[in-house]
Amino acid sequence: MNRPLGITVSRHILDSQHIHPKATGDLSSLLIELIVAAKTISAEVNKAGLSDVLGMSGKTNIQGEDVQKLDDIANNIIKRRMARCGHLCVMTSEEEADVIPVAEGHEGKYSLAFDPLDGSSNIDVNVSIGTIFSVHRRITSGGQGDENDLLIKGSEQVAAGYIIYGSSTMMVFSTGEGVHGFTLDPSVGEFYLSHPDIRMPKKSRYFSVNEGYTRYWSENVRRYLDYLKEEDKATGRPYSGRYIGSLVADFHRNLINGGIFLYPRDTKNPAKPVGKLRLLYEASPLAFLAERAGGRAITDDGLNILEIQPEGLHQRVPLIIGSSYDVGIAEEFLAGER
């Protein structure tokens, strides 16, 4: 059977690079190397039940969370490969307290923030998980980089994206112009363009939030949730709830079908005063994709996620992200205007 000739992700990256006459190809090489890491993680995730990689690693990360073995494996795969790619000066990962240096003599002009395996609680039960990444241009000059190359506003990202290990493995990313999705053909070991120029529907019928925490939210957030459960005048039905508990998977569904995801701040628990999700390698890269696809991302006090100046590698932010119309309505509730 003759299959249509698909556009590989490497072809797509190189073609996009040619649009920019001044591009050196460094970002393209960086992304191509990251794709190899993604394929390696995908292979590990796909055979997880067969090898001894499920369960806890026995370690605790900087966030005080138990590190699963697959978290640890994915972290090492990205860190080892990317440290020698020649285009990075420093990295940060959800699983490491301090910055991760690159290999001596392999320093380059970008920095990388990543969550190696997001949605850890779903690892052992065969539910979609993902890898999230964010690339910035370094601001220090020469040699090894430092924290300053990572503590940069999300609006300055030069590339961001995720890999979702779901019913198929997909990579979705943007280098600033458009958001494109590529599906891994495991029989060939290659990602092919399957979702060119993804646009997030303006208005949605879905909301994603962990409602178990309702009692910890502000009055305004609770009123917004009540609004979502009222009958919509146009459809005669309330919004539908969809929550997987893997940010990548919840975001991916909302990106394709439209939807709003919320992880508001916990107002009653002093240990979690600003929500759960991390700015540098969860909120900011997904906010970059949302905006490039026509959506929006704000905090629960109305700040644009991409305009927050990061103060720490593992800083947390309340996150509201999704279809532009719905984020707009949420914003009005959060400001007490409705």
Among 115, 250, 291, 326, binds Mg ion (CB under 5 A): 115
Which residue has tokens 């795969």?
77
Kindly state whether residue 276 participates in binding ligand AHM, applying the rule CB under 6 A.
Answer: yes
**Which are the contacts of 75, defined by CB distance < 8 A and separation ≥ 6?**
93, 94, 95, 96, 116, 117
Q: What count of Cα atoms within 13 Å lies in the side-chain half-sphere of residue 271?
A: 2
What the block records as the tokens of 141 is 């000059």
Angstrom distances, CA of residue 223 to CA of 211, 214, 218, 332:
13, 10, 9, 11
In the complex, minimum distance from the CB of residue 320 to ligand AHM, in angstroms, rounded to a whole number? 13
Q: How far is CA 89 from the centre of its chain?
A: 21
Q: Whole-angstrom Cα distance, residue 126 to residue 122?
A: 7
**Which residue number, 192 or 281, has a Cβ lying nearer to ligand AHM?**
281
Among 44, 72, 95, 115, binds ligand AHM (CB under 6 A): 115
- The entry of Mg ion, ligand AHM, none near residue 6 (CB within 5 to 8 angstroms by kind) is none
**Which residue number, 8 or 267, has a Cβ lying nearer to ligand AHM?**
267
Residue numbers 57-76 binding ligand AHM by CB under 6 A: 65
Run of H or E including 331: helix 324-334
Kindly state whether residue 120 participates in binding ligand AHM, applying the rule CB under 6 A.
Answer: yes
In the complex, minimum distance from the CB of residue 29 to ligand AHM, in angstroms, rounded to a whole number? 28
Q: Whole-angstrom Cα distance, residue 273 to residue 317?
A: 9
**Which residue number, 101 or 245, has a Cβ lying nearer to ligand AHM?**
245
Kindly state whether residue 124 participates in binding ligand AHM, applying the rule CB under 6 A.
Answer: no
- The entry of ligand AHM, Mg ion, none near residue 95 (CB within 5 to 8 angstroms by kind) is none
Among 33, 71, 72, 118, binds Mg ion (CB under 5 A): 118
Q: Whole-angstrom Cα distance, residue 147 to residue 312?
A: 8
Kindly state whether residue 250 participates in binding Mg ion, applying the rule CB under 5 A.
Answer: no
Name the amino acid, one letter, at 212: G
Contacts with Mg ion by CB under 5 A lie at 115, 118
Contacts with ligand AHM by CB under 6 A lie at 65, 94, 115, 118-121, 210, 245-247, 276
